[in-house]
Chains A and B, each alone.
Chain A
Amino acid sequence: MIISAHTKKTKRQEQIAKGFIWFFVIFTIIILAWIVLYVLFRGFYFRNEVNYDVNDMKEQQIILNEDVEPVVFIVHPGVRLDDLTMQELRTIYTKARKEKWGPYTQQDLRVETFVLPPGTAFTDTVNGFIEGPEEINKFATTAADPQSMIGKVSSTRGAIGYIPASAAEDIGKKVKIASIRRISAVVHPSVKEIVNNVQMQELTPEQLEDIFRGEIENWREVGGIDLPVRPILPPKSLPYSVIHEKILPDGFIPEEVRQTDTLEEFCEAIKTTPGAVGLCFYNNIIETGEGLHIEEIRRVESGMNLTIHYLIEAPARSGAWGGISTIIINTFFLILFTLLFSTPIGVLGAIYLVEYARQGRLVKILRLGTETLAGIPSIVFGLFGSIFFVNMLGLGIGFISATLTVTMMILPTIIRTTEEALKAVPISFREGSLALGATKLQTIARVVIPAASPGILTGIILAVGRTVGETAVLIYTLGSNYELVRGPSSSARVLSLHLYNMFAEAISFDRTFATGAILIFIVLLVNYSTTKMIGRMNRMAGK
């Protein structure tokens, strides 16, 4: 191939330039994609590490002692519960004020406790188990028998109750079984000593298993001080056999593990052996009353974050519980009313500037003003709105103040984009229409605006995008009541504010991300549907 030196050089330059551009484009795309995907990921899926006083070993059928049947705790299927700790169970039944499921399941739902009639050995044992040092509170309802218990729990929202294991065989789907976790790890005080800034923090369930299999011999290996590990097990008899089954499923007890024969021996061993760690029931610790030192266990909890429930339920406790349904609706209303106010004014104003006004000084000044306003930071608008609408006009913090302020903020954008869209319509269309004997108004309405509508729509979408993402303006004018907006003066929280609140008040990072994910979805949805609409308009026009 014949190619001159100069051409070669030019080609090389072009390749280098292309390489640069390609590199930066890929880089930018990766960063943007990473941001969006990260928010979506965190929004959808949460993964937290939580410390508990009990291990993650769950028991569905809880053996209390060798005399009575094991007990099964059941909850209404609507309660989104996997398991409860011993502590939580007791709190639910004994709390002086009526408890809500919020702290356990983030549901804004009252707990309805049910018990079986006292008098039977079973009931007394279970009630004693539940009470611990307190008493069952007055809110508990009594069910006559296990069948009736099942019936009541399955039909009462937020209900929790218990039945003997035998009755649990045919519960089917009517109620859900709540597993209980009651196995704690206890240690000798020496384990928690601080030496050279090193202190034993929590254990993971896997570490606990390794300890009792004899694979971890020194506390140093799990982040503690240099101290040999002395694992101790409680008696093999009921009910502690459960512990044995869970921690050493194949029954083989390594020689490093000391086996005790009675609970007292166990407690004594823990209290006196340096480096000792043992497993027992949570209630044992409270009962023996001498403060065996509980070693916290860290559990990984993960699951779906942005669920249908989150979208449908109304928020509670400032967003910590429940969902964000009303907030989504509030956001929608804000967009709707803002568009309702700003679109006519913006579009008509632009039409005047382009089609009717004499292109002299006045128009130039108006245009300069519009462009300046379009660039003003939104927080300045928030300030203005707060002073003018909220204070001076006395409209107060609420929906109407916010709508008016946001309208003013996006008006310049709409005017500008509409103007550009109108100017882009070729003069030949206008001339053609007028030459057919149409009036100026007819020409604008029937030819110019339809031709410019893709551009106008784009401007409106930009404005919507700004509205949805707007926080600074709304902080000062909208307030933060998260219930459904009731009237022009009610305060109402929207998605962006909700995100801000939850983040600033550290209510829940998971929910913050979930809200962010929803915001991203809304923007994607709006952009997608608009693009489709504009595409259809262009096809109709023959482009």
Chain B
Amino acid sequence: MARILGGIGASHAPSMEHVYDAGEDVRRNEEWEPLFGPFQQVSEWLAELRPDRLLVIYNDHMDEFFLNAYPTFALGVAEEYPIADEGFGARPFPPLPGDAALGWHIARALVADEFDPTICQELEVDHGVISPLPMVDFAEGNGQWRIPVVPLAVNVILHPLPTPRRCYKLGQALRRAILSYPEDLGVVVVGTGGLSHQLTGPRFGRVTPEWDREFMRLLAEDPEALCAYKHEDLIKLGGTESVEVVNWLAMRGALPREARPIVEAYYPHKIMGYGLQAFAAAT
């Protein structure tokens, strides 16, 4: 039977891609060490843990899905996931390896649990997946991704959005989906996005570190408390685009209640509250 080995909450942002692509010297300079140092710790932890799969809960930014038909939850069931061209040419990474069999199992398990995702045999992933992923997985030397992924996209763009509580319950259903998979696989669940940021209107660039830190504390210690927040609350506390944090809540729902962070970092910088939180969860 498959097992859940842990979880990772991580911001995603084009800025993280620019820094990563600029090379090791820039990643570990004074400006970026506060974020990329902890990413390195997570990378080392994962290398030791050796998960067989990553289940990545993220949101697309109109790079795969568009307003003609916007899915609330969309699940990848493909053998590989090409990198999307977000309007500047695709980043030069090979496609992410997938696991179609696991994807289809999760699709059936979610439907059995009364979650009904859009099922995607083709899916291009954008910075919602690949801005944090190279820091934890990409084997830079040989240019190959190490760990196959199953991506799950959550609508955080076109209101009405699935509620925070619904996303937490989705995580719980994903947990049952993984635990019921017959193959002996170790899975790490990743949730990406946030934390505070505001990209539109007169509050452009506003970051709210106090709330971000409180969010991370609650996520670790009392995730059910976050289920009571409405999107309206999250927008007021962290900005319009900060509602992406529901992806972290879904990740947390897949972990045991008593899981605690083993790596934790928060770095408010320029227009983003960058967060990183890794949980060990031996089940």
Q: Do A and B bind each other?
A: no
Q: Which residues of chain B have a CB within 8 Å of any CB of chain A?
A: none
